[in-house]
Chains A and B, each alone.
Chain A
Amino acid sequence: MKFFFQRKPVEATPGDTIASALYRDGRRIFSRSFKYHRPRGLLCVSGNCPNCMMNVDGVPNVRTCVTPVREGMSVKSQNAFPSLETDFLSATQCFDRLMPVGWYYKTFTHPAMWHAAEPIIRKAAGLGEILPTRPAEYEHEWIHTDAAIIGGGWAGIHAALTMAEHGDAIVLVDDQTALGGQLRYGKSTDAVPADAIAKLQGAANVRILQDSSCFGMYEGNLLGILQRNPHSDANERLVHLRAKRVVVATGTFETPILFPNNDLPGVMLSTGVRRLLHLHGIVPGRRAVVLGGGAVAEEIASELRAAGVEIAAVVEPREVVSARGSAQVKGIQTSNGNFTCDLIVICGPHVPNAGLVAQAGGKLEWNNDRGAFLPADLPPNVSVAGDAAGEMLPNALPPLSTHKRAFVCLCSDVSCKDLCDGIAEGFDQIETLKRYTTATMGPCQGRMCQLSAIGICAHDTGRTVAETGVTTSRPPNPSVTLGALAGPSHHPTRFTPMHSSHQRMGAVWMDMGGWKRSRYYKRHEAATESESVLLEHKSVRETVGIIDVSTLGKLDVRGRDASRLLDLVYTHRFSELRVNQVRYALMCDSGGIILDDGTISRLAEDRYFVTTTSGNLDFVHQWLQWQLVGKQWDVHICNVTAGYGAMNLAGPKSRDVLAQLADCDLSSTAFPYMACREAKISECHALLLRIGFVGETGWEIHCPAESAEGVWQRLLDAGKKFGIEAFGVEAQRLLRLEKRHVIVGVDTDALTNPYEAGLGWAVKLDKEDFVGKSLLAHAAKNQTREKLVGFILKEAGLPKDGAAIVMNGQPVGRVTSSRFSPIQNGAIGLAFVRASEAREGTSIQVRVDGKLTPATVTMRPFYDPEGLRLRQ
């Protein structure tokens, strides 16, 4: 196989990781550290430390030591200029005196200094760069199971088999490329329990998630899992796994020993050496020094000898003085002599990987005998098995250091001296020391450094390790791509039944509450928005227009107590509404504040058709159901919004158009304003409401969604000879503004009551008790603090929504809606002003583009104030 590193081809064999292929190719420097740009090489070879992070195919911070090679991969180094071999910024080490622990807080004490320094620091220090345009496919999956076992090593395999034999549904989660855990890189491959694995793979009640990291345990035994490359069409899959029981069998990870220059390339953990030897068949060096004692050290030494590596010495950790070398280990200085070598093998302490236990609500308690924090106080249904529970060999804790080049936190270049200085400055609790020094806060999330940091903190504060404690484990650990959390980029969009027709007519789309609505129609290439809106406006005022209003919320409310409910919730009387009549419906909360408006049509004694504003349907539906709680009323409410396509046919010629298709009498005597009829339009059953949001003769036509597009098209065809135009939301906004029709949520806010909005006529205080009655009665009698009025701008300009209304230099209100009206040939709008300004003819000033522009208040609609056009 071939892949590319820094654009040059590199050979790889199947089974190689990017790092193993590069190591075999002779590379020893894999990255440059965050702050000092020190050369870093392979250390853990397990995906636990930050040393091997590179940019792979546009993705930053990829741990190349656990990422399998794929043909053609493009791999680049990070945070190193001009190259990994020579990084100019490693000169920062010379200035380390100017950058002690917490130096940001001490140096940038003036705001200007930080703003000047920030861009430089961001360029100099860091991890990877994101390529925003990189295409990626993310998926989600939800799994419910009886038992989840996290970790596919010996303990996990054993637990899975036992539980599977009982017949439970099992999910086994393992972050490696194959099951077996550390048995895969032991001395002999026979240790891997192939039979047990085959049994699990064949069991119908066992699901194995390979290449999957469990990054968090959430409430209710919900596990978050990130699976890499689940199949050829997806990069990552986020699995939400809910299990009745969870077994944490995540094993341990080995951590480094502290001594000066312990971060040099060539210093490797014994686990890392074993993975290179036994997983990848790579001899990691020629001459090695093993740091460790007893049988553990002897064992790794013998494995290296068997691979042909010369063992210069086996050294006890307390004898180490310093590692030597600049870009690569050249030797080691000990109290028993100096040795040359190109590999230092650390037999470090093994830390149980038990963060999930802490996230589940358990505790991690220090066990002196085992030299580790072990899980305790486990919540019910969570158990720990294997090395993670402390079954590994006891750790001999290595000595600590205070040297400025003995690194504790490799991710952030935090040295032992930095930690000691931080403690000396007063940050003597592990949680504050962590935050001040940033130790454990880098990509390794504490895996490499937490134990050492706790050890130094304990030692320098004279406490025991148990007293010092651990920092809080929080998910996600390991980290998760934000894209994976978001999932597939399907944003649910709501379409009306007439969507394709709008598309064909050149609709320019806008998003409204999840719906795609036509803002206006672009009839030819050069048409501008204002031209199109004015054209649409003209056709409605002079001939006929048609708009798709299918987004209106619609509720079918029926039952013996339907009238009672509507009388209770709305401010007008609906029990008295005659059948085949429509009425404006205003809804207030118990404080008398406007919640929503719409229309209510009575279709029969016990049947109503309720419309709401487009965005508020869900709320109104819930509100009505809430009002029914505890009452034994006979009411059935059904959300039928999507079941009807709705269109508003409006204009002086609308009757002529509709008469061609409708089977009912449309004259004003037979079908007056505010009446409703069920009729047939070209064989399609429809509900016709004669109402007029835009102020012209017109009908709001509701027909079953499956037939709506056909009706829409036939109306357009029938209207052709009258010059019919489809009009969009922008034209509708202008038309309704000229009639001074209020839009709830635009011209009203969370404090507006009906009297302020000029809607007091819709409130019937002589009704029986209804929602908001007492406070509405109070508001009716008392002077309102502000009122919604109309205004006409006296000079050119167009105020923005929210523009200030000014009187005598004082802000006294704000504009709620404003548009250019061709009828006034100037800007008109609605605005809130003080009650004292709310009189016909008052002069006010409106802030337009920063300039105070004169305007006149009007209390009447701008167009057809008597409402004669509507009733024609």
Chain B
Amino acid sequence: MKRSALHSEHSNAGATFGEYSGWELPAYFVRPNQEAAKIRESVGVADLSYLSKFDLKTKPERLSWCLSATHYLILGQASSPVPAEAIDVTSVYAALRLAGPNSREVLRKLSSLNVSDTALPNFGCGQASLAHIPGIFLREDIGAIPAFHLLITRDYAVSAWKAILHAGREFGLCSSGIEALRSLSN
């Protein structure tokens, strides 16, 4: 099965794995509803590396993230097809999901990017350093809960994950599995 760059980290943290689109990723670390509660109350981070990602030079006909006038990113499965000229970069990036009312506070300890509500509104994105690692920040809230996708190239994933956990200690950040996130989206 396909494995995320964080597989050993998750394993050492006692994760229970599940299969998501052919990838072996944490379903939960402790219990899904406990992790979901922590996210609602403070902040949590999950590994969503299975999400498909496509890189484009021109704006596609469908929903995408605009990183610059000549750089677009499609994230995740959707009903509409991916343009033929898109380059599949699913393997290139690890995708982390940081969610919770304290997610901005955690990001402020890791990046100089202005992540305030006005500077980075919902569905806004930016590129900046994340703990000295080049990162792509995509804001996509889960309902009323502020949340971000953090894309870093796979080779840096372990360092980024550790930095996020370290910065999040102050807020009781929990490692979250995919089940918890899914329950929040419903």
Contacts and interface: CB of A to CB of B under 8 A. Distances in A.
Interface of A: 139-144, 169, 230-231, 233-234, 240, 488, 490-497, 499-500, 515, 556, 558, 636, 638-644, 704-707, 709-710
A355 B7 CA distance: 51
Contacts of B169: 233
Contact of B154 (A141, A142, A515, A705): A705
B163 A638 contact: no
9 contacts: A141-B108, A144-B116, A490-B132, A492-B131, A494-B159, A636-B56, A642-B92, A642-B155, A705-B91
A707 B2 contact: yes
Given A492-B159, A495-B158, A141 B91 contact: no
B5 A492 contact: no
A321 B119 CA distance: 63
A638 B87 CA distance: 8
B55 interface: yes
B179 to A, nearest CB: 20
B133 A641 contact: no
A618 to B, nearest CB: 10
B73 to A, nearest CB: 11
A430 B153 CA distance: 54
Given A142-B113, A488-B166, A495-B5, 14 more contacts: A141-B108, A144-B116, A488-B163, A492-B159, A495-B155, A515-B155, A558-B87, A643-B89, A705-B154, A706-B2, A706-B3, A706-B91, A707-B3, A710-B3
B7 to A, nearest CB: 8
B87 A641 contact: no
Contact of A709 (B3, B156, B158): B3
B91 A704 contact: yes
Interface residues of B, number: 43
B3 A490 contact: no
Interface in B123-152: 131-133
Contacts of A641: 92, 153, 155
A640 B112 CA distance: 26
B152 to A, nearest CB: 9
Q: Which of A143, A639, A640 has the most CB of B within 10 A?
A: A640
A368 B149 CA distance: 59
B55 A140 contact: no
B67 interface: no
Given A558-B87, A643-B154, A644-B91, A493 B159 contact: yes
A71 B15 CA distance: 39
B92 A240 contact: no
A225 to B, nearest CB: 13
Contacts of B4: 706
B85 A144 contact: no
B91 A643 contact: yes
A517 to B, nearest CB: 12
A142 B156 contact: no
B94 to A, nearest CB: 8
A142 B111 contact: yes
A710 B153 CA distance: 20
Contacts of A497: 3, 5, 154
A234 B166 CA distance: 11
B148 to A, nearest CB: 15
A685 B56 CA distance: 22
Contact of A493 (B112, B113, B158): B158
B145 to A, nearest CB: 18
Contacts of A706: 2-4, 23, 49, 91
Nearest to B133: A492
B33 interface: no
B31 interface: no
B155 A490 contact: no
B34 interface: no
A157 B118 CA distance: 26
A144 B156 contact: no
B162 A142 contact: no
B183 to A, nearest CB: 25
Nearest to B158: A495
Given A490-B166, A642-B154, A636 B8 contact: no
A218 to B, nearest CB: 13
A142 B155 contact: no
A144 B119 contact: yes
A638 to B, nearest CB: 5
A515 to B, nearest CB: 7
Interface in B1-26: 2-5, 7-8, 23
B87 A140 contact: no
Nearest to B114: A144
A499 B159 CA distance: 14
B129 to A, nearest CB: 10
- The 9 A-B residue pairs whose C-beta atoms are closest, nearest first, are A643-B92, A643-B91, A706-B2, A642-B153, A494-B155, A642-B154, A492-B159, A144-B114, A704-B91
B156 A492 contact: yes
Contacts of B116: 144, 169
B61 interface: no
A399 B65 CA distance: 69
A443 to B, nearest CB: 30
Given A500-B8, A638-B89, A639-B92, A490 B154 contact: no
Interface string B92-125: 1100000000000000110111101001000000
Contacts of A556: 87
Contacts of B157: 495
Contacts of B119: 144
A240 B111 CA distance: 10
Contacts of A488: 131, 163, 166-167
